[in-house]
């Protein structure tokens, strides 16, 4: 397709869409109908807390459809909105059997915990909730564990939408007597 003889009056604007740092790139060019527009890179280092830049969308709430260096045909004025991908790898809560005390007291950035249980407890259920709904929580070996040894370990892995991981480790010690 050949660019048209129309006047060069199509503009392209980039929006930060909630970024907490950086500035959106600026395209100072005017394009004619049918021109190839090269999508700009995130050259202004847009950033958002606990998220990473995920590309550009033509809507504020859309998913990334365009990345720097791609070409799109000029049809009308274009607005590109930064998209954000969850990079949060923390839990908002961690419980064992809903009522067993974990030590130390839960804090999202603390990664190692101990739970003391009496001999009478033969199974525990661990519930871990990610701070970000799009993060995946996995339990190794599982979230329901039969207690067959004096010390049992459970690993909880939180994986963000961007693929980063954080690991929490719970040591369950049997033999604790309540007084």
pLDDT at 2 over 80: no
Cβ atoms < 10 Å from Cβ of 174: 19
The tokens for 47 are: 């950033």
Tell me how far apart the alpha carbons of residues 40 and 25 are, in angstroms, rounded to a whole number.
7
pLDDT digits 0-9 by tens, 125-141: 999 999 988 899 999 99
pLDDT digits 0-9 by tens, 12-61: 999 999 999 999 999 999 999 999 999 999 999 999 988 889 899 999 98
DSSP 62: P
CB 46 within 8 A of CB 16: yes
Contacts of 45 (CB under 8 A, 6+ apart): 21, 22, 23
Tell me how far apart the alpha carbons of residues 100 and 117 are, in angstroms, rounded to a whole number.
8
pLDDT digits 0-9 by tens, 83-97: 998 888 999 999 999
What pTM value is reported for the model?
0.67
């Amino acid at each position: 397709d050949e660019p048209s003889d129309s006047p060069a009056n199509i503009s392209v604007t980039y929006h930060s869409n909630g970024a907490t740092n950086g500035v959106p790139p600026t395209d100072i060019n005017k394009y004619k109908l049918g021109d190839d527009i090269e999508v700009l890179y995130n050259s202004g280092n847009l950033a958002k807390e606990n998220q990473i830049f995920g590309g550009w969308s033509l809507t504020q709430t859309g998913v990334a459809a365009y990345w720097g260096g791609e070409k799109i045909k000029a049809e009308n004025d274009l607005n590109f909105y930064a998209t954000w991908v969850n990079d949060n790898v923390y839990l908002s809560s961690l419980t064992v059997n809903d009522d067993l005390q974990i030590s130390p007291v839960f804090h999202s950035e603390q990664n190692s915990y101990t739970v003391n249980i009496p001999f009478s407890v033969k199974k525990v259920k661990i519930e871990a909730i990610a701070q970000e709904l799009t993060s995946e929580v996995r339990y190794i070996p599982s979230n329901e564990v039969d207690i067959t040894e004096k010390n049992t370990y459970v690993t909880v892995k939180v994986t963000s939408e961007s693929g980063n991981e954080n690991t929490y480790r719970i040591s369950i010690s049997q033999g604790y007597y309540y007084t």
